[in-house]
Amino acid sequence: MPGLASETIGIWVAAGSRDESAETAGSTHFLEHMLFKGTGSRDAKTIAAAFDRTGGDSNAITAKELTCYYSRCLVTDLPNITGLLVDMVSNSQLDVEEFERERGVIIEELAMSADDPGDVLFDDFDSLVFGSHSLARPVGATKDQIRVLGHHTVIDHYQSTYIPPRLVIAAAGGATHEEVLAMVDDALAEAGLGSRADVWSGAGNGVHGAGPVGTGDSNGGAASVAKGSHLAGAARVRPDFQAGVSHTVKDIEQLGILLGCEGLPEGDDDRFIYSVMLTMLGGGMSSRLFQSVREERGLAYAVNCVASQFTDTGTFGIYAGCTAENAQAVVDLAVSEWDRLAQETPSQFELDEIVSQLSGSMVLGLESSAARMNRLARSEIFGLPLESPMDLIERVRSVTAEDVSEMAGRLLSRPKALALVGPAAEVELP
């Protein structure tokens, strides 16, 4: 991204909470915390000070299929930050005393999430639709699971998942491709892993002494790791979608509603049709749901479509927050608008408006180095083509009004689930 003085770099691990068992639940998120607690050459305070010194944004995220450690910094700080991230990921000490202190911090974090009705709603929906599958569990597990999670369990998780070919380094910003590769070389050597060529060939020490590490780059691939092969070691079983209704009663003012069905998996061939349909139905202030539920009838403040996508499945949902008295009307109206989109082909004018909205958001989003870094990594991990912004726009423009109606009907015909969080209310699936 010529002209930028900053760079966003991330080390991604193709492993998340989905890759845990009931006994190891919480290990992925716990490990994300622990990697900031010290390596053989840096203690926790040194790591924190090194990130703060850049004046940028540094953090980590744990998801159901991915973990990422990232930093946005000045290009001049990138060599130090690259070395720091590689050291954290490859040489974490996982000290037992730090582990016990962090256990309390994570329990507090989970307690904070439990106080957020939105977090509870989305966790409840996943629990409802995925049943006994590992995707049903919250990313951070439960407080009871964290209280009994063993130190050795997290170490085992670290040694079994933070290994090639699950690891990808992605970067976007003002540094050149060659500069980033040189920085990665230096960071690997500093961390005691050998040169990039040594590590890829298996001649170096490797991460935890376990073979080559894949380094994703701005040219879209790793030297010895086939694109999309990073999930090859993940023993993942596709879940069956479970229909039904769940209600967590909370003494709050609004009732959170999430109505949905099985959606599309990551990289599905119809993902551009899916995006257009999501946006048309509930993707902004001009969307059908927003206009019908909020503007015309005043039944809710917030109403929109949501989607999650995984390697082999996904969920589609309609979210709304309203009073308990309005809940059934909101659910009925949401299904009615969904059905109308399935039954009546939208006008070319409406389709053109949505295509314009999506095209603009795509291009604007790609002006962010963090978004570019994220896109590079996900393309590498999931084996998706890395298309140019103009190619993406053309894919969106190729969607027809008939495609949108067909997609809405396809989803509408699937079994549905309804999750509710808030005051007691009688709400049924239409």
Catalytic residue list: 32
Which residues are CB-contacts of 127 (< 8 A; sequence separation ≥ 6)?
Answer: 136, 137, 246
CA pair distance 282, 165, nearest whole angstrom: 38
List Cα–Cα distances, 225 to 67, 117, 220, 267, 374, in angstroms.
19, 42, 11, 20, 19
CA pair distance 260, 246, nearest whole angstrom: 12
Bridge partner list, 304: 319
- The encoded tokens of residue 404 equal 């949108």
For 55, left (φ over 0), alpha (ψ -120 to 50), or beta? left
Identify whether 165 is preceded by a cis peptide bond (ω within 30 of 0): yes
Amino acid at 16: G
CA pair distance 167, 377, nearest whole angstrom: 10
CA pair distance 341, 402, nearest whole angstrom: 10
Owner of token pair 């308990």:
324
Please say whether the beta carbons of 54 and 43 come within 8 A.
no
Helix (H, G, I), strand (E, B) or coil at 67: strand
Helix (H, G, I), strand (E, B) or coil at 80: helix
Closest among 197, 170, 195 to 71, alpha carbons compared: 170
Closest among 139, 135, 121 to 312, alpha carbons compared: 135
